[in-house]
Homo-oligomer: A and B are copies of this chain.
């Protein structure tokens, strides 16, 4: 059993951001698993996606139910084997899980007001810069690998472009070289639901003692639909009606209501929305979805991903999932093609898992064995 403990590092010097703004006097929350070897060659950085944190693997000593979000992938004897690798999970700036974010005090505020909506817009590239500073402080010059799924995969890709000499291998799972119009559209609807919630108060809801829960619920419900495949939703919920013990007798028939729960998929979504609204920060949601929207390395190269990926020097593993309609396999193949155009060493696996985008978090055997092999060969390469 891997026991995790959360750490934090303070950074006083301003970090310049892509927007032109900067952020200073910030904290990064992180965790590490395994042991850094003598020549510091076995470090693996894990980048997180929208609704996750630096708590990647293991459990906290006093909380047996607190398994990290990628605990099936990372740990002793697991595909990313912490008996061989020194794994680092880091929480991104703007998050609500430990690193400095919108609900923390603005260092320039005389009376300790929190950032709220004034937290600067952060991008994937900004996060990578912040992560690089953390590695500097940990004394790690070169990563054996950087790895992430979804938005985390974008960070892994960005690492190979911003710090090509510092990354031996990059593992980019269920990701994309940028968002499509449809992806942006879903993000925008979620943001509008939050921003137009009367409890949002322009993002300064903290000082009003409110939380825009209505908007967060809607945002989460939309997100959930896009994480799952149509097939897995049909398999899991189909058109089954809600059924509680009390209502068992009645649950075989419609109750003909526009506002009450009628189908199980409705109660599932409502439950997920309620849970999320209880712990997630609305400004963080806006920031993270915007970071997704903005990521587009080809943009400065007239749309040429091949030109954009030319600086990369790492080896790559890309993994996609057939039923992922949010970041479809075709999007991973665009990255593969652009890397091959640049004569990079690329492995690519397209996994026929039924779970949609969520598959990257689950423990499909074929998926895990691809990652396991890739890290076994990396272990041999770095001699651990």
Say if the beta carbon of A189 comes within 8 Å of chain B. yes
User: Which B residues lie within 8 Å of A254 (CB)?
Assistant: 19, 294
User: Which B residues lie within 8 Å of A19 (CB)?
Assistant: 254, 256
Say if the beta carbon of A181 comes within 8 Å of chain B. yes
Q: Determine whether the beta carbon of A178 is less than 8 Å from that of B256.
A: no
Expressed in whole angstroms, the Cα–Cα distance for A126 and B218 within the complex equals 31
- How many of these chains are in the complex? 2
Q: Determine whether the beta carbon of A234 is less than 8 Å from that of B180.
A: yes
A79-87, A167-175, A285-293, A306-314: which lies at the interface:
A285-293
Q: Determine whether the beta carbon of B181 is less than 8 Å from that of A193.
A: no
Contact with B along A204-216 (1 / 0, CB 8 A): 0000000000100
Q: Which residues in window 208-267 of A have CB below 8 A to B?
A: 214, 217-218, 221-222, 224-225, 228, 230, 233-234, 236-239, 254, 256-259, 262-263, 265-266
Q: Determine whether the beta carbon of B181 is less than 8 Å from that of A265.
A: yes
Q: Which residues in window 179-195 of A have CB below 8 A to B?
A: 179-182, 184-186, 188-189, 191-193, 195
Given A196-B217, A198-B198, A259-B191, residue A225 in contact with residue B185 (CB < 8 A) = yes
Expressed in whole angstroms, the Cα–Cα distance for A258 and B221 within the complex equals 20
User: Which B residues lie within 8 Å of A256 (CB)?
Assistant: 18-21, 121, 294
Say if the beta carbon of A269 comes within 8 Å of chain B. yes
Number of contacting residues on A, CB 8 A? 60
Which of the residues B21, B192, B233, B286 comes within 8 Å of A185, measured between beta carbons?
A: B233
User: Which B residues lie within 8 Å of A180 (CB)?
Assistant: 230, 233-234, 239
Say if the beta carbon of A354 comes within 8 Å of chain B. no
Q: Closest chain B residue to A193 by CB distance?
A: B218
Expressed in whole angstroms, the Cα–Cα distance for A322 and B191 within the complex equals 30
Given A192-B270, A258-B191, A270-B192, residue A184 in contact with residue B221 (CB < 8 A) = no
Say if the beta carbon of A296 comes within 8 Å of chain B. yes
Given A185-B233, A193-B218, A258-B286, residue A263 in contact with residue B225 (CB < 8 A) = no
Which of the residues B121, B233, B257 comes within 8 Å of A181, measured between beta carbons?
A: B233
Say if the beta carbon of A273 comes within 8 Å of chain B. yes
Q: Determine whether the beta carbon of A287 is less than 8 Å from that of B265.
A: no
Expressed in whole angstroms, the Cα–Cα distance for A299 and B262 within the complex equals 15
Q: Determine whether the beta carbon of A263 is less than 8 Å from that of B121.
A: no
List 7 additional contacts besides A203-B258, A262-B293; criterion CB under 8 Å.
Answer: A21-B256, A180-B239, A181-B239, A185-B265, A188-B221, A189-B221, A193-B218
Q: Which 6 pairs across A and B sit closest by C-beta, in order of nearness? A: A19-B256, A258-B286, A181-B233, A121-B256, A181-B237, A189-B221
